[in-house]
């Protein structure tokens, strides 16, 4: 596997599921990287220096030599295309590549507006409609539960970017008062992701009382 000439710099926030998505994949690939903390509470993501890296003012961002990539899913695709010559994580054949893209879209859609938003409400006190986010979460998890029936991974018979993109906010859904008890296939899948060589967890937050 190709290696970067110097450690990749990862601009992150420890409680951001999007940032963890990038951190997790860097670790799964075994790539050297340096965490650069960005204090979102103090607005460091809105400073001119950071906005020059990501005009949307969001983490994560990576710097790989003279290449800067923002957005967690874009980072996954970049790292797979640059450092995974075997196409393990981003399949080369069109059908499986399209299936992976479907889950990347789900990570930016139902996952972001479901469990990610529900978690924002409880962990950060964000003023969003929790009932709506919880309903979106349950709809997504029902689809995932059915998709994982009789298979270990979201696409085909091997782990891909789809699993990396969907993992974090699913695993931390209970922090947003979205329990996972009703989804045995999904919970078994979470355990498989957590058993991958190089897996790194994200910092946990308290789970709200039922």
The last residue of one of the domains, among 83, 104, 120, is: 83
Q: What is the pLDDT of residue 77?
A: 98
Q: Does the pLDDT of residue 19 top 70, yes or no? A: yes
Question: How do residues 189-207 score in pLDDT, each as one tens digit?
Answer: 999 999 999 999 999 999 9
The last residue of one of the domains, among 16, 50, 83, is: 83
Q: What is the pLDDT of residue 160?
A: 98
- Residue 160: partners with Cβ closer than 8 Å, 6 or more residues away: 88, 89, 90, 91, 96, 100, 153, 154
Question: How do residues 90-149 score in pLDDT, each as one tens digit?
Answer: 999 999 999 999 999 999 999 999 999 999 999 999 999 999 999 999 999 999 999 999
State the CATH number of the domain containing residue 187.
1.20.1050.10
Mean pLDDT of 34-47: 94
Within this chain, do residues 136 and 178 fall inside the same structural domain, yes or no? yes
Within this chain, do residues 139 and 63 fall inside the same structural domain, yes or no? no
Q: Does the pLDDT of residue 82 top 70, yes or no? A: yes
State the CATH number of the domain containing residue 26.
3.40.30.10
Q: What are phi and psi of 201, to 5 degrees?
A: -80, 160
Within this chain, do residues 102 and 168 fall inside the same structural domain, yes or no? yes
Within this chain, do residues 73 and 111 fall inside the same structural domain, yes or no? no
Within this chain, do residues 64 and 102 fall inside the same structural domain, yes or no? no
Q: Does the pLDDT of residue 161 top 70, yes or no? A: yes
Considering the chain, what percentage of its residues have pLDDT values greater than 70?
99
Q: What is the tally of structural domains in the chain?
A: 2
Q: What is the pLDDT of residue 1?
A: 63
Within this chain, do residues 57 and 112 fall inside the same structural domain, yes or no? no
Q: What is the pLDDT of residue 210?
A: 65
Within this chain, do residues 186 and 98 fall inside the same structural domain, yes or no? yes
Within this chain, do residues 99 and 179 fall inside the same structural domain, yes or no? yes
Within this chain, do residues 21 and 42 fall inside the same structural domain, yes or no? yes
- Evaluate whether residue 210 is within a structural domain: no
Q: What are phi and psi of 9, to 5 degrees?
A: -95, 125
* Partner residues linked to 35 by β-bridges: 10
How far apart are the C-alpha atoms of 138 and 147, rounded to whole Å? Answer: 14
Q: What is the pLDDT of residue 2?
A: 77
Query: Hunting for tokens 């009932």 — which residue is that?
Result: 131
Mean pLDDT of 168-178: 98
- Evaluate whether residue 201 is within a structural domain: no
Within this chain, do residues 119 and 76 fall inside the same structural domain, yes or no? no
Closest CA to 174 of 120, 135, 128, 119: 119
Query: What sign for the dihedral angle of Cα 25, 28, 32, 37?
Result: positive
pLDDT band for position 63 (cuts 50, 70, 90) = very high
- Residue 191: partners with Cβ closer than 8 Å, 6 or more residues away: none
Our separate counts of H helices and E strands in the chain read 9, 4
Tell if the pTM clears 0.85, that is, is over it.
yes
* Residues, the chain: 210
| 23: containing domain | 8-83
């Amino acid at each position: 596997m190709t290696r970067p000439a110097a450690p990749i710099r990862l601009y992150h926030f420890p409680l951001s599921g999007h940032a963890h998505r990038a951190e997790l994949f860097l670790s799964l690939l075994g790539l050297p990287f340096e965490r650069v903390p960005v204090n979102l509470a103090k607005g460091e993501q809105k400073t001119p220096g950071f906005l020059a890296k990501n005009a949307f003012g969001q983490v994560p961002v990576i710097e790989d030599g003279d290449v800067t990539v923002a957005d967690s899913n874009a980072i996954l695709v970049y790292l797979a295309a640059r450092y995974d010559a075997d196409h393990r994580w981003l399949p080369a054949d069109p059908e499986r590549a399209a299936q992976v893209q479907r889950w990347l879209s789900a990570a930016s859609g139902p996952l972001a507006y479901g469990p990610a938003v529900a978690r924002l409400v409880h962990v950060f006190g964000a003023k969003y409609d929790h009932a709506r986010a919880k309903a979106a979460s349950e709809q997504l998890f029902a689809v995932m539960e059915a998709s994982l029936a009789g298979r270990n991974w979201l696409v085909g018979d091997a782990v891909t970017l789809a699993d990396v993109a969907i993992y974090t906010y699913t695993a931390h859904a209970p922090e947003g008062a979205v329990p996972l008890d009703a989804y045995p296939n999904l919970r078994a899948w979470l355990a498989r992701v957590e058993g991958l060589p190089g897996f790194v967890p994200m910092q946990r937050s308290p789970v709200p009382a039922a």
